[in-house]
Amino acid sequence: MILDGKAVSLKILEDVKKRVSALPRQPHLVVILVGDDQASKIYVNNKRKAAEKVGIRSTVLELDADIKESELIDIIKGLNNDTDVTGILVQLPLPKHIDKNKIVTVISPKKDVDGFTPENVGRLAIGLEPYFYPATPQGIIMLLDEYKISIEGADAVILGRSNIVGKPMAQMLLKRNATVTICHSYTKDVEDKIKTADILISAVGKKVVRCKMVRNNSVVVDVGIFRDANGKLTGDVDFDYVSPSAGYISPVPGGVGPMTIASLMYNASKVY
Ligand code: GUN
Looking at domain 25-108, its CATH architecture is: 3-Layer(aba) Sandwich (3.40)
Q: Is the pTM of this model over 0.75?
A: yes
- Predicted local distance difference test score (pLDDT) of residue 60: 98
| Main-chain phi, psi angles of 233, to 5 degrees | -65, 130
- What mean pLDDT, rounded, does the chain reach? 97
CA of 162 to the centre of ligand 1 (A): 11
Residue to mutate, 38, 92, 165, 261, ligand 1, most ligand atoms under 8 Å from C-beta: 92
Residues of the chain with pLDDT under 70: none
Instruction: Say yes or no: do domains 25-108 and 135-257 share a fold.
Output: yes
The angle that helices 135-146 and 5-21 make with each other, rounded to 10 degrees, is 110
Asked if 111 contacts 87 with a C-beta cutoff of 8 angstroms, the reply is: yes
Check if 114 has its Cβ closer than 6 Å to any atom of ligand 1.
Answer: yes
**What pLDDT shows up at residue 212?**
78
What pLDDT score does 122 carry?
98
The answer to whether 103 and 72 have CB atoms below 8 angstroms apart is: yes
**What does the domain layout of the chain look like in residue ranges?**
25-108, 135-257
Class of domain 135-257: alpha beta
pLDDT tens digit string along 91-118? 999 999 999 999 999 999 999 999 999 9
Which ligand 1 atom lies nearest to the CA of residue 93? 1
Give the model confidence (pLDDT) of 195-245 as tens digits: 999 999 999 999 999 877 899 999 999 999 999 999 999 999 999 999 999
Q: What is the pLDDT of residue 159?
A: 98
Which of 147, 127, 138, 250 lies closest to 200 in space, CA to CA? 250
